[in-house]
Amino acid sequence: MFLSFIILSTFLPSVVFSASFPSFFNESAYETSGHKPEIYQLEYSGGCISGYTWFSYTNFCYKSTARAANFNDAHNACRSEGSELASIHSLTENQFLVQLSAAGNRVNSKTNYVMIGLIFENREWSWTDGSSVNYLNWAAGEPNNMKHELWTALVSDVNPKKGQMYTHWNNVNMDRQRAYICKRAPLN
């Protein structure tokens, strides 16, 4: 994420913030003044702790971890950093997490999945962070095997054998070793 500082003039020390897309700046509006703005870019973390990526659409910080873990270990690892396994509340957030975690197939889990925080307990799906389940993105035929697969993974890498599952969710067994995604609020 970058913020652009646009200095309009040395006589007018106004600073304009462009939220990551300098193309929103209309240079022609300043051409008549004879002053050409200077653009400076600084990396902006959105208040995330080290290792996390801020997503402006949700105003949350995310961390994709390629280290394989079962559900309990992944959940505990996220909590140790003040986060939870990721909850997903829109297609936009889902697509961002697919892009963020697209290296999941490099994990020694022999899957293309990353663990997220949706679990089935008390006969309903719920997020481990306690947020409402207002968006679902199951792959065709999922969820299935409801006696043993009560946890959820996002299919973040293309699998030639299961291409229709890419970007969707699959319910999984908690003991399989998988990559995982943590989510937390920014510090500020």
Q: Are 22 and 39 in contact (CB under 8 A)?
A: yes
* Mean pLDDT confidence for 175-188: 90
Higher pLDDT, 30 or 133: 133
Decide: residue 26, CB within 10 A, 0-12 exposed, 13-18 middle, 19+ buried.
exposed
For the chain, which domains are there?
65-80+88-181 (3.10.100.10)
Supply the pLDDT for residue 136: 98
Tokens (6 digits) for 185: 């609020």
Supply the pLDDT for residue 22: 34
- Under the banding of pLDDT at 50, 70 and 90, the label for residue 142 is very high
Q: Are 172 and 185 in contact (CB under 8 A)?
A: no
By mean pLDDT, which of 115-119, 163-167, 184-188 is the weakest?
163-167
- Under the banding of pLDDT at 50, 70 and 90, the label for residue 105 is low
What would the pLDDT profile of 40-99 be if each residue is shown by its tens digit? Answer: 434 456 799 999 999 999 999 999 998 889 999 999 999 999 999 999 999 999 999 999
